[in-house]
């Protein structure tokens, strides 16, 4: 099967348009795309498969107009059906970065100390859904002129078979600016973890140059607790808009993310306040009409009463239905979006999704509670008014109610 072609979306054995047989296409079907450094791990019926990929090898090799990213494809039924491709790195050609030497490592087998009855989630028991994914990076150059410099090594982890991933970490140590070609080259990582998916450990190669110009390559080691957050470097434009350049605050379970722009909100409605930034992004390479899972990192804790909003071009908003999104961390939102659905800006089933999204907090509304004017002989009404005057009567208080759909 040709699992590393990006021209095939979701593949199901009972789908006549995307059968397993469709994955038997050869390179001659598309001699521009290139996949290399194939990796994979199998745990039970779960298969996680990955590779470095470019849609045009000539542009990626001899120009900087295209590049290699790390793509994965998954199966949860032993290879009978496969998800669409997922671009884990999403480096744009403008970043001039290629991905090389990716890694996929499943959790090791349970040890003899595993107690599957009383402590099935203990550190000694294998979690078949836990995988480590890592990759090296290299400066994308004109290959016929010079070789690209080794950059940094990155790592992430999944505990649900690749449906979602933990925040990206740097394997490389002592890095001030990720992907800096002037930094020490890091490459060739090897990784492992505890059977339950905890406590990642890694070794990798690093080359340094001393004051005399002598190069020395050493093997370095780090544990998960020592890893640095890879962050999300940004470029601030003249109008204040921030563009994420390298690491991505948005990940998808299939397709490729591009055109990410983060800015202050363009929403104009007065029924919400807008405490967080607005994200605009595109997802392409999807099966027409498919539904994807999008994880958005807002970079800060979301307010307790927050709702997720789609922002229309005219500044109006559409509240995302509660069944379509959930908060999976203090600053992480996961939302389901269907190609051509109400959250897809162009509304067309075209294998692409456009989604400007932000967070809103419904504006509190003040509703006075009517004071009863009924009385028996007028005495009860007078007592109510006196209580209200001295601030003692609950009937004359105003209550604040937060309204949300």
CB 361 within 8 Å of CB 272: yes
User: In angstroms, rounded to a whole number, what is the distance separating the alpha carbons of residues 62 and 68?
Assistant: 12
Question: Residue 209 forms beta bridges with which residues?
Answer: 215
* Beta strand residue intervals within 321-385, DSSP E: 325-327, 332-338, 353-362, 365-368
Helix, strand, coil distribution of the chain in percent, nearest 5: 10, 40, 50
Return the C-alpha torsion angle 52, 66, 183, 201, nearest 10: -20
What are the structure tokens assigned to 372, written together? 């009863």
Size (the chain), residues: 405
- The residue with tokens 């009404």 is 381
Average pLDDT over residues 323-350: 90
Average pLDDT over residues 5-14: 49
Average pLDDT over residues 18-38: 71
Binned at pLDDT 50, 70 and 90, residue 326 comes out as very high
Return the C-alpha torsion angle 30, 33, 37, 43, nearest 10: -60
Average pLDDT, the chain: 80
Per-residue pLDDT at 366:
54
* 60-80 as b/e: b if 16+ CB within 10 A: bbeebebbbbbbbbbbbeeee
Supply φ then ψ for residue 368, to 5 degrees. Answer: -70, 140
Nearest to 348 by CA among 363, 360, 338: 338
Instruction: Report in angstroms the alpha-carbon separations of 385 from 37, 372, 380, 381, 400.
Output: 81, 9, 9, 6, 21
- The residue with tokens 């004017």 is 373
Nearest to 245 by CA among 265, 230, 264: 230
Binned at pLDDT 50, 70 and 90, residue 15 comes out as very low
Supply φ then ψ for residue 224, to 5 degrees. Answer: -55, -40
Nearest to 151 by CA among 132, 178, 173: 178
Q: Where are the domains of the chain?
A: 20-229, 234-362, 365-401
Q: In a 3-state reduction of DSSP, which class is residue 175?
A: coil
User: In angstroms, rounded to a whole number, what is the distance separating the alpha carbons of residues 251 and 201?
Assistant: 24
Q: DSSP string of 231-265?
A: ---EEE-TTS-EEE-SS-SEEESSBEEEEEEEES-
Q: How many C-beta atoms surround the C-beta of residue 304 within 10 A? A: 8
42-51, 73-82, 316-325: range with lowest mean pLDDT: 73-82
Per-residue pLDDT at 107:
96
pLDDT of 172 strictly over 50: yes
Per-residue pLDDT at 173:
80
Share of the chain above pLDDT 70, in %: 78
CA 213 to chain centre: 41
CB 67 within 8 Å of CB 140: yes
Average pLDDT over residues 146-150: 89
Per-residue pLDDT at 240:
54
Nearest to 17 by CA among 26, 29, 7: 7
Binned at pLDDT 50, 70 and 90, residue 195 comes out as very high
pLDDT in tens, 223-253: 988 887 775 544 445 555 544 444 457 888 8
Q: Comparing 242 with 126, which gets the higher pLDDT?
A: 126
Share of the chain above pLDDT 90, in %: 39
User: In angstroms, rounded to a whole number, what is the distance separating the alpha carbons of residues 243 and 234?
Assistant: 5
Q: Supply the Cα-derived Rg of the chain in whole angstroms.
A: 27
Q: Comparing 359 with 173, which gets the higher pLDDT?
A: 359
User: In angstroms, rounded to a whole number, what is the distance separating the alpha carbons of residues 246 and 129?
Assistant: 27
User: In angstroms, rounded to a whole number, what is the distance separating the alpha carbons of residues 95 and 243?
Assistant: 12
CA 271 to chain centre: 29
Q: Are strands 256-263 and 353-362 parallel, antiparallel or unpaired?
A: unpaired
User: What residues contact 257, with CB distance under 8 A and at least 6 apart?
Assistant: 87, 90, 248, 250, 251, 281, 282, 283
């Amino acid at each position: 099967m040709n699992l590393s072609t990006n021209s095939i979306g979701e593949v199901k054995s009972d789908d006549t348009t995307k059968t397993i047989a469709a994955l038997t296409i050869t390179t001659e079907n598309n001699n521009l795309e290139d996949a290399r450094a194939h990796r994979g791990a199998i745990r039970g019926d779960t298969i996680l498969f990955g590779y470095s990929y470019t849609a045009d090898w000539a542009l990626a090799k001899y120009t900087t107009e295209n590049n290699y990213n790390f793509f994965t494809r998954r199966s949860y039924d032993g290879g009978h059906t496969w998800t669409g491709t997922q671009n884990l790195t999403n480096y744009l050609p403008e970043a001039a970065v290629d991905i090389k030497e990716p890694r996929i490592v499943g959790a090791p087998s349970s040890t003899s100390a595993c107690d599957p009855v009383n402590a099935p989630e203990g550190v000694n028991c294998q979690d078949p859904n836990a995988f480590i994914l890592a990759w090296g990076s290299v400066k994308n150059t004109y290959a016929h002129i010079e070789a690209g410099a080794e950059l940094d090594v990155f790592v992430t982890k999944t505990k649900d078979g690749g449906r979602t991933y933990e925040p990206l970490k740097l394997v490389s140590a002592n890095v001030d600016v990720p992907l800096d070609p002037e930094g020490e080259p890091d490459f060739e990582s090897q990784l492992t973890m505890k059977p339950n998916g905890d406590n990642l450990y890694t070794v990798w190669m690093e080359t340094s140059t001393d004051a005399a110009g002598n190069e020395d390559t050493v093997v370095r080691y780090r544990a998960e607790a020592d890893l640095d957050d890879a962050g999300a470097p940004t470029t601030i434009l003249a109008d204040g808009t921030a563009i994420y350049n390298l690491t991505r605050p948005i990940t998808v379970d299939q397709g490729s993310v591009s055109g990410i722009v983060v800015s202050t909100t363009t929403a104009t409605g007065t029924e919400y306040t807008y405490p967080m930034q607005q994200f605009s992004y595109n997802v392409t390479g999807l099966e027409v009409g498919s539904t994807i899972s999008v994880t958005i990192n807002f970079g800060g804790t979301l307010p307790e009463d927050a709702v997720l909003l789609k922002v229309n071009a005219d500044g109006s908003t559409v509240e995302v239905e509660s069944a379509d999104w959930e908060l999976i961390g203090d600053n992480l939102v996961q939302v389901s979006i269907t190609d051509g659905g109400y959250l897809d800006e162009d509304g067309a089933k075209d294998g692409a999704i456009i989604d400007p999204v932000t967070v809103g907090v419904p504006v509190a509304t003040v509703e006075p509670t009517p004071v009863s004017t009924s009385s028996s002989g007028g005495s009860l009404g007078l007592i109510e008014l006196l209580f209200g005057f001295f601030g003692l009567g609950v009937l004359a208080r105003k209550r604040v109610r937060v309204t949300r759909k």
